[in-house]
Amino acid sequence: METGFPYEKTIGLMNTLVPRLAALREGSGRRGGFLCVLRRLALGASPLLHVLIGRVPTDKTTRCFTLSHEKSTRLKRHLSAGHLTSWESRDPSRDRYGGAIAGTTFLYGFSGFSEDDDSALMIALALQADDLSWEDAKRMSARITPMSENVIRTVRRLTPDLPIDLL
């Protein structure tokens, strides 16, 4: 494992955030997914962490694993164009979806819930990991919000212990 990445903290945060999100979406049948984290400035797209958090139906495992990596690596390729989220290069006809965001140091991608919820989950993770400022979270949410009205509301519900309100 690479040093300098807070593995235990990240997994601990996700083990709190994913059940919160699953509870908010009770009845959807979605209980988890795959988290993929890349170093923002490193060459290549090898994940620092690529892990299942919660539960994913067996028939969705490969798809969620693949999409979490695809979202993160696609965002990494678009950073030079100023993208902050994978929503900005979204193309469902090519199986490319939202759900990855750029923190200050790391890129976070998730697949398992809806695109809106995957994005909100990654913003909440980066905020709680101190890898994203509230200002950047607001900018990301503004870029996602024209496509998804509920992202920032979900972030707020996932992070009730954080004192700053995005709304």
Q: Tell whether 111 is covered by a domain.
A: yes
At 148, which CATH number?
3.30.450
Q: Which residues pair with residue 106 across a beta bridge?
A: 39
pLDDT tens digit string along 25-83? 887 888 999 999 999 988 777 899 999 999 999 999 999 999 999 999 999 999 999 99
The pTM (predicted TM-score) of the whole model is 0.88
User: What DSSP letter does each residue of 120-166 carry, written as one string?
Assistant: HHHHHHHHHTT-S-HHHHHHHHHHHTTT-TTHHHHHHHH-TTSS---
Count how many domains the chain has: 1
Q: Is residue 135 part of a domain?
A: yes
Asked whether residue 35 is domain-assigned, the answer is: yes
Domain that holds residue 82: 7-158
- C-alpha closest to that of 47 among 121, 108, 119, 100: 108
- Where residue 166 falls among pLDDT bands split at 50, 70, 90? very low
Q: Is residue 164 part of a domain?
A: no
DSSP state of 46: -
Can you tell me which residue has the tokens 């990991």?
A: 129
Q: Write phi, then psi, for 101 (nearest 5 degrees).
A: -135, 160
Q: Percent of the chain beyond pLDDT 70?
A: 90
